[in-house]
Structure 1
Amino acid sequence: YHGNQDVYIIPVLGGVPKRITYQSFSDRMVDWHPNGEQILFASRRMMGQRSANQFFLVSKNGGLPEKLAIPYGELASYSPDGKQLAYITKITENYPFKRYRGGLASDILIFDLESRVVRNITNNHANDGKPAWAGDIVYFLSDQADDMRLNVWAYDSKQGSARQITKFKDFDISFLSAGPKELVFEAGGELYMMDLATQVYRPVQVNVISDLSAEIPRSVNVENRIQNMTAAPGGKRIVFEARGELFNVPVKDGYTINLTQSSGAFDREPAWSPDGKLLACWSDRSGENEIYLHDTQGKAEPRKLTNRGAGYGYALYWSPDSEWISFIDEKNDIYIVETESGTSTKVANTLWNLGHGSRHGYPINWSPDSKWITFALGAENANSAIFIYDVENKLLQQITSSFYNDVSPVFGAEGKYLFYRTDRNFAPHYSDMGDGTWVYPNATQIAAIALTEDVPSLFTPKNDALEIKEENEENNETEKEKEPSGDKDSASEKDKDDLEVKIDFEDMETRLMLLPARAGNIGNLFPFKGKLLYQRFPNTGSENRTSSLILYDMDKREEETVMEDVGSAALTADGKALLVSSRRKYGIIKPMPGQKIKDAIPTNGLVMDLVPKEEWHQLFIDAWRRHRDFFYDPNMHGLDWAKLREQYGALVEDARTRWDVTNIMSNLAAELSAGHTYTFGGDVERVSPSNTGYLGIDWELGNNNLYKIGRIVQPAVWDTEIRSPFDQPGVPIEVGDYIHSVNGVTLDPTKDPYAAFTGLSGQTVSLVTSKNGNNADAKQYIIKCMSQGEESRLRYLEWIENNRKMVEDLSDGKLGYVYMSNTSGRGQLELVRMFYGQL
């Protein structure tokens, strides 16, 4: 309700919810204590190890929560007498990995709250979870049976034995809960109730009257969901892809057209033909991803160009004559498609799996005469080499040796040179840690190869000379100046139509030249007459975090900045200008220095008519298709994937919110029993968080019913990145001191102490404290509250230091301790930070 997940209570017949806990950290309701006066919840509010929760008990009337003497806990259920607690330390029964068998598999533990003895009542390699204690029986979910389906099991706490109760085969059971006389659970989208006396269960018919507001069709502005874009010849209109719709938008004046208008289909990767007549895109409107050709005015039905069936294609590249389209697919195969007949020809395969991210925008470039395409393919030494394919003769030839990594080739605008990126500037950067390690970042340079032997070097020595014109030449020049300006463009177009690209393949790499452009993190080459534009991204180690568009002038032989702070860039369909984005603004710029977006392309007209139910069905089918097309095992781990589409797809019709759809897709993916198959995002209901201010302390409630500092969280003495405001020089506040008020608000002992710190994250506040709890002795101090992230980091550093001290003490100083949270950036930082300090 207030932006954070907190504990609330509400009368069963309805009423105003009463807030019990106050925290930016998630406080998740777990169970009622059998006395009916206290609530058990799980939270990370005092946790150093950030991947687990702890149990807290709080009065139903509010107040200071009490942490239980259990190191970790997620879900739990009290015994009827309240003396024992059945709990789990990890939630894996709902993990998107069905039939999981690994280190995270959970067991059901019983903790005796008086003796503090723990016993494991399942002790197996299966997933056991959702304990629900009723009488002498602990009910729980487990997939320990041979079919590995989550079903209800019962553990008899008197006899110490367990047996299976339900035997669902098609769906796992979830959301198990016990009442006084019944057990309730969910399976396959239906609720079931089981009589505890007979252990007989039956489906429950639930009739909920609702306005189904999440399903109401509505207009949605999608300008913040732009994924891809393409510009018409001349750059007067743009097609944006946003949320699966294609919008034809004017650069300045005019109206916006939604070319697709279908919530039930996803249209993507638009590409405008060079002749301006057609727009190509991928669409799943047929049930599979196929290429469609659209009338750019949206007046005619799109024409389905391909019949590929299963599979996924990426960016589409038109040939200059608008007769061919090229692309790469999910199998790393490169194709060209004839736009008249739809005939597809496989050109090559990249050898190495590029991955989904690298295939997006994988560059395939056409020669100006549409007779050749060029691209990079992986070599056996793990580098890439440049290849050229002869469209007419269907001949593929390698033109660089792969001794260096060569990628992203493009033909020059005049058809005389081939430009590409090559990683060969090896300037080592040495570590400052004295370990002798080094890396070779920012190694990319730009290379050019003359396509024929008679094409001169780009760096032929210049020689200034006096130019003497004859009289008739001067007259000719005068006549040319009188020609209409349009004739020059017409002549240029005629020259382009007559252009024929010739290539001498023999010893082609020997004609290689390196442009004197500064080496670095270079990408996206754009050829123009006499110029080459490219994006220069921030170098490794650079403080700059934005990319620039750079121009290399072949005549001047120098770099010039076209535009700063460029997000993305693409050639217009005729190759004469660039469509760029910068901080969510879009514009057309010329290939000249000093460009900027003066008048941003209007995107406020990107409004779609959304029919949620249609989109939900599309999302589900797309999730099913993507797993079919991308999963590493074509046999789908032995599953009948088509059957699972029908089984889980039938549930989508009963979905009432986007969360329901996400849950269905997550369970479908989990059937593969594979890791890292997560589902998230979408139009789920959200609220703005209310950020709590923190002090880096554990609270206590004194005998005088006033809140005081029970403990100050302290990391290692050398960890200075974050400290409690009470662990700072010159602050005389200590453990045991009382905190009376913050910003004039007295701390209420009947509420969580953090209630007074709501909205104070990172804020400078006035604290009134005392040594003895007497207002007469209280003093005011000005301190700055910490944020949730700072509080979490502080407790994390303290937890690491406590572990290090324990290892040091137990080993008599012979062992060091390094905590690596993961194998990416954060874990690597901790490794270096702690390793060298303990040598």
Structure 2
Amino acid sequence: MPSQGYVRFPNIFQDQIVFVAEDDLWLVSTEGGRAERLTAGVGEVRYPHFSPDGALLAFVGREEGPSEVYVMPAQGGPAQRLTFQAGNCRVLGWSPDGEEILYSSNSAQFAGRFEVIYAIKPTGGMPRQLPLGMANDISYSRNGGVVIGRNINIREFSHWKRYRGGTAGHLWCDRQGDGNFKRLLQLNGNVADPCWIGERIYFLSDHEGVGNIYSCTPEGEDLRQHTRHTDFYARHLSTDGKRLVYHAAADLYLFDPGNEELQHLEITLPSIRTQRSRKFVQAANYVDTYALHPQGHMVGLTSRGKAFTFGNWEGPVLQYGEADGVRYRYLEWLADGKRLVAIHDAPGREELIIFTPDASVEPRTFPDIEFGRVTRLEVSPTENAVAIANHRNELILANLDKGTSQVLDRSDSGRIEGLAWSPDGAWIAYGFAISPNKTAIKLCKIETGETHQITDPILEDSEPAFDPEGKYIYFLGHRIFNPVHDNLHFDLSFPRGVKPYVILLRKDLRSPFIPEAKVPDEKEKEKEKEDSSEKKAQAEAETPKDGNQENKEKKDEGTRKVAAISIDLDGIRERILPFPVAEGRYARVRGIKGKALFLSYPVEGVLQHTVHGKGTLEYYDFENYKTEKLFDGVSDFDLSRDNKFLIYNNHHRLRVVKAGEKLKPEHNNNERPNRDSGWLDLQRVKISVQPSAEWKQMFAEAWRLQREQFWAEDMSGIDWEAIYQQYAPLIERISSRSELSDLLWELHGELGTSHAYEMGGDVRNGPHYRQGFLGVDWAYDGEQERYRIARIVKGDPSESQATSPFTGPGLNVKVNDAVLAINGQRVGPDRGPQELLVNQAGNEVQLTIEDAETKETRIVVVKALASETPARYREWVESNRRTVHEVSNNRVGYIHIPDMGGNGYAEFHRGYLAEYDYPALLVDVRWNGGGNVSGLLLEKLARRRIGYDFPRWGQPEPYPGGSPRGRW
């Protein structure tokens, strides 16, 4: 049966409606019925609008990567790309005379959130900015009046429902078209999509709770409500000047203001729904968890929600559980080395499940064990049991033989930070939040359930791990307070602060870091005995098992016995020693025989922060009392249960090596997957994805994550179960990943709260050709058919990415000079400079420049920018600063904060350290992108000046413990 589809972005002209579904444009009658597909591109399309005569369609497309304006015949045909700005853009409609397409964009602006309205001819050419200031919606009356929409949340107001904050959309009206705008209405809600029809302005608003159509006069009087939706918001309202169309949920509606008639249009899409078809994806791109077999010769892997095992370098790849529609996490081998345990969500919540590799029996599930969302899972080394940490700050022990569970511990202050079983399976060590700012290492004795705190933390002790011989527990301690001077102003910080520590479990143990004399003969005998045991174990592992041996092992499943370890709890908190290594940013410590392994990450600036592939794996050798590096480029690592093999992740790659052993140089430098190099060939793992089943699972998990972890238990008064029932049926109408994103945004929007987002996703991607820029404003000289440089954006000439490449020394390019050619291609009326800079970001480009005065031509070579925003932002800030200084007679300093993240923190200090000597400061937070450093900035601003430094030579300087740059 034909699908109704997931309808969005409708626009009307007379008896036809264009809309978006399956990321393409469709055309349907205003009576509904069978729709006709107009596009079949590789990129997503949005915001279609008919020309006033109905002959053309303008829309936003992504056929070459960036969002750009396209135009095509309304009845179908080739589409032409018109803009080359690589900004966020949205087609708003056409000029009343049909001569230009109107669209909003942040292109050529100083901030990503600042949008203006541009106009461009359907035949192409240079866009022109309308003199309206910040605006992102527009509609005209028949008599020349104009209404515009402003602010951030005017664009998708259903994504944050019932929003009442400072970025809510609002309307401004110029009744006569003379440039005199006045605020239209003062509604306590979000306003969007103005449409001027006759003597009234129609728009969407949720000031009464749900987004509906309202209207008022151009004077802002006689407010009326026209639709009565009580569940889904009315969205993307548009008009042809007579009737209005919009969508709510995934349905299309037609509203006639003349008779107040509202029609729900039934439509069908004759489509095979291509994006719902099965596909295969690369396992390496979606690796979630991985675990070595207890003996190290196999790997268990979860990727893209699927569970697999395979031999490290040969053999088949086995998949476990349902093929589609279920997510599997934390796949681990049980103690017997045969069966596997994982977390799955088939019943609509997370649950334990046990698999057998040969699928000889049905997987066993545990419906009576409930634990919410799992954050850590560790399998007992001796019994059929698992320790689970969850989002409720609980430590849970699940007995897989009995199908029972018990809560061993729970924190009122934070989540469990690390889990580790003792080698004999009798104890669990874990990081436990004893207060909001302190985490201690605790021990739980499984037999009795008794818990013991074994460290007195200064801040956070976490990530415990047992020495395999049962002598020590290792952990990471945030205990080092070694301040480092800031290099730009008077401040100190603790950029590292962490060390690995060892807890001696018995009173008779001495420090492992103080050398002891050993008899050489005994030492050699110990090594020979160890080597012999290893060879024997390896031979046994490689020897094929006969039937009798397999039967015996099955009989003994889960009954592995290990010598009991001894722990002297009395005085254990005093038996803690730091490893003799430098402080750092350690992420994990693990023990193997005779060594401890550490993973640490470098200190990096947050603006270039990339953890993946940056870690260093080292070991401390207790026999030789020294630290050595094993590998660079480590994201994370794990060990086999016998501690003899190590697996580590290097940004989409996995490698298995003998634990604590360095590879030979020829093997370490070998990048090919094989036994010598240790790299695994993840292309062996074939992941089949059924999008429709995956989308259904993703929707349910997103809903469940909010239910389990939303900040308020009552879900801000929302009936969250009812919301699921309201939205879940729409999943069947989805035919693309972008439509799922839209549905998830609407779902989260019901909570009416900030920071409820959906990002990323396996959306359909075509090619992406990065647009190059020259950091200039262009002006087209029609008389001489020249593209001239109207302005050069200087920004910060000391930083190449924050200034026009024309500011480089020796180029001597000036305002009014013309660019005649780029890379040998002539610039002209039919092909502007930006079109010739497609796919040139970061490349050197050759420009033919014509001097404005002498008319002489010359060749210059510059490197094209990937973005002009940094340069335009810097110029905007410095212009504001000069203005503030001038109008205040140098009594007020100026700081702009673009966001409350790393970039905003840096920008604040750039301004603050230069401006804080002024008697007053103007702190500008317009167009701020949000974040979490506001408290740190307020701390600086709140400091009182209590003294001055009066040097003998020079001017007095403020003294808050030193001058701004540390001089005395």
TM-score range, shorter chain: over 0.9
**Corresponding residue of 2:319:** 258
1:724 is displaced (CA, Å) by 1.6
What 5-or-longer segments of structure 1 have no aligned partner?
none
Q: Is the 8 A contact 2:466 2:590 kept in 1?
A: no
1:280, 1:316 within 8 Å by CA — same for their partners in 2? no
Cα distance in 1 for residues equivalent to 2:199 and 2:833: 38
Aligned mate of 2:866, from 773, 788, 791: 788
1:589-668 map, 5 Å: 589-595=657-663, 596=668, 598-668=677-747
Alignment pair present for 1:243 and 2:304: yes
Q: Is the 8 A contact 2:116 2:133 kept in 1?
A: yes
Name the counterpart of 1:367. Answer: 422
| CA shift in 2, pair 1:348/1:489, >3 Å | farther
2:600 aligned partner: 536
Correspondences of 1:692-707 after superposition (within 5 Å):
692-702=771-781, 703-707=783-787
Q: Which residue of 2 aligns with 1:526?
A: 590
Q: Is 2:293 the partner of 1:225?
A: no
Cα pair 2:369 2:404 within 8 Å, conserved: no
* Structure 2 residue 214 is the aligned partner of structure 1 residue 153: yes
Alpha-carbon distance in structure 1 between the residues aligned to 2:333 and 2:434: 33
Q: How does 1:173-572 map to 2 (within 5 A)?
A: 173-309=234-370, 311-354=372-415, 362-380=417-435, 382-403=437-458, 405-435=460-490, 437-463=491-517, 486=536, 497-539=561-603, 546-572=614-640
Q: Report if aligned partners of 1:150, 1:173 keep a CA contact under 8 Å in 2.
A: yes
Equivalent residue for 1:736?
816
- Once residues 490 and 20 of structure 1 are traced to their aligned partners in structure 2, the CA distance between those partners, rounded to angstroms, is 69
Equivalent residues of 2:245, 2:252 under 8 A apart: yes
What is the percentage of aligned positions where both structures have the same residue? Answer: 25
SS at match of 2:152: coil
Query: Within 1, Cα distance between the matches of 2:875 and 2:235?
Result: 37
- 2:811 is aligned with what amino acid? V
Deviations 1:232-261 (A, max 9, x none): 122121111011101112201111111124
User: Structure 2: how far apart are the matches of 1:530 and 1:87?
Assistant: 69
Q: Which residue of the partner structure matches residue 644 of structure 2?
A: 576
Residue in 2 aligned with 1:143? 206
Aligned with 2:770 (options 691, 699, 707): 691
CA RMSD across the alignment: 3.0
Q: For 2:77, which of 15, 33, 36 is the aligned residue? A: 15
Q: Which deviates the most, 710-719 or 239-248?
A: 710-719
In structure 1, distance between residues paired with 2:529 and 2:889: 96
Q: Which residue of 2 aligns with 1:767?
A: 847
CA deviation digits over 1:560-602, x for unaligned, max 9?
Answer: 2222322221111333221122243222211234234704222
1:141 and 1:479 map into 2 onto residues whose CA distance is 80
- Find the residue that maps to 1:564 and give its secondary structure: strand
Report 1:18-33 matches (<5 A): 18-33=80-95
Is 1:131 the counterpart of 2:194 in the alignment? yes
CA distance in 1, matches of 2:534, 2:406: 44
Q: Secondary structure at the match of 1:28?
A: strand
CA distance in 1, matches of 2:720, 2:522: 79
CA contact (8 A) 1:525 1:535 kept: yes
In structure 1, what is the Cα distance between the partners aligned to 2:313 and 2:619? 26
Following TM superposition, by how much is the alpha carbon of 1:293 offset from its aligned partner in structure 2, in angstroms?
0.9
Q: Which amino acid aligns with 1:277?
A: K
**What is the letter of the counterpart of residue 426 of structure 2?**
K
Is residue 832 of structure 1 aligned with residue 909 of structure 2?
yes
Displacement of 1:718 in angstroms is 7.0
Cα deviation for residue 608 of structure 1 reads: 2.8
User: Structure 2 stretches of 5 or more lacking a match?
Assistant: 1-62, 542-552, 669-675, 918-968
**In the aligned structure 1, how far is the partner of 2:832 from the partner of 2:838?**
11
Shift in Å, 1:830? 0.7
Deviation at 1:39, TM superposition (A): 1.1
Superposed displacement of residue 158, structure 1: 6.6
Which whole-Å deviations, capped at 9, do the CAs of 1:23-58 have from their partners, x for residues lacking one? 222443111111011111112222113312111112
Q: Greater shift after overlay, 399-408 or 672-681?
A: 399-408
1:637 alignment partner, SS class: helix
Contact 2:801 2:870 in 1 (8 A): no
C-alpha spacing 1:395/1:694, structure 2 compared with 1 (3 Å) = same
Q: Structure 2: which amino acid aligns with 1:779?
A: T
Match for 2:859: what amino acid?
Answer: Y
- Alpha-carbon spacing, 1:404–1:162, altered in 2? closer, same or farther (3 Å): closer
Matched position secondary structure for 2:153? coil
- Taking a change above 3 Å as real, the CA distance of residues 505 and 82 of structure 1, as seen in their structure-2 partners, is same
Q: Describe the shift of the 1:20–1:283 C-alpha distance in structure 2 as closer, same or farther (beyond 3 A).
A: same
Q: Secondary structure at the residue paired with 1:834?
A: helix
**244-253 or 76-85, which deviates more:** 76-85
Residue 25 of structure 1 aligns to which amino acid in structure 2?
G
Does 2:759 match 1:680? yes
Question: Which one is further off, 318-327 or 575-584?
Answer: 575-584
The Cα of 1:654 is off from its aligned counterpart by 1.5
Moved more, 249-258 or 307-316: 307-316
Deviations 1:441-464 (Å, cap 9, x if unpaired)? 322222222212122332455236
Alpha-carbon contact 1:64-1:751 (below 8 Å) kept: no
- Once residues 587 and 718 of structure 1 are traced to their aligned partners in structure 2, the CA distance between those partners, rounded to angstroms, is 43
CA deviation map 1:763-814 (0-9, x unaligned): 222222223499xx3312222143232x111111111111112211221111
Superposed CA deviations along residues 653-691 of structure 1, whole A, max 9, x for unmatched, are 121222222211211111011101111233322222222
Question: Deviation at 1:480?
Answer: 12
CA deviation vs aligned residue, 1:306-352 (integer Å, no higher than 9, x gap): 53457211232111103221010110101111120121111112332
Which residue number corresponds to residue 722 of structure 1? 802
Alpha-carbon separation, structure 1, partners of 2:527 and 2:863: 76
Contact 2:70-2:79 at 8 Å conserved across structures: yes
Q: Deviations over 1:715-736 (max 9, x none)?
A: 3677776322322332222111
State the AA in 2 paired with 1:728.
G
C-alpha separation in 2, matches of 1:479 and 1:814: 81
Matched position secondary structure for 1:291: strand
Q: Does structure 1 conserve the Cα–Cα contact (< 8 Å) formed by 2:149 and 2:169?
A: no
Structure 1-normalised TM-score?
Answer: 0.92
Query: Does the CA contact (< 8 Å) of 2:113 and 2:152 recur in 1?
Result: no
Are the counterparts in 1 of residues 845 and 864 from structure 2 also a CA contact under 8 Å?
no
Measure the CA separation in 2 of the matches of 1:618 and 1:793.
Answer: 40
Letter in 1 for 2:759: F
SS in structure 2 opposite 1:448?
strand
Q: Distance in 1 between matches of 2:391 and 2:697?
A: 20
Q: Is the 8 A contact 1:64 1:749 kept in 2?
A: no
Following TM superposition, by how much is the alpha carbon of 1:518 offset from its aligned partner in structure 2, in angstroms?
A: 2.5
Aligned CA distance change for structure 1 residues 620 and 405 (closer, same or farther; 3 Å): closer
Q: Cα 1:717–1:408, aligned 2, differ >3 Å: closer, same or farther?
A: closer
CA shift at 1:114, angstroms? Answer: 4.9
Deviation at 1:828, TM superposition (A): 1.0
Report if aligned partners of 1:34, 1:81 keep a CA contact under 8 Å in 2: no
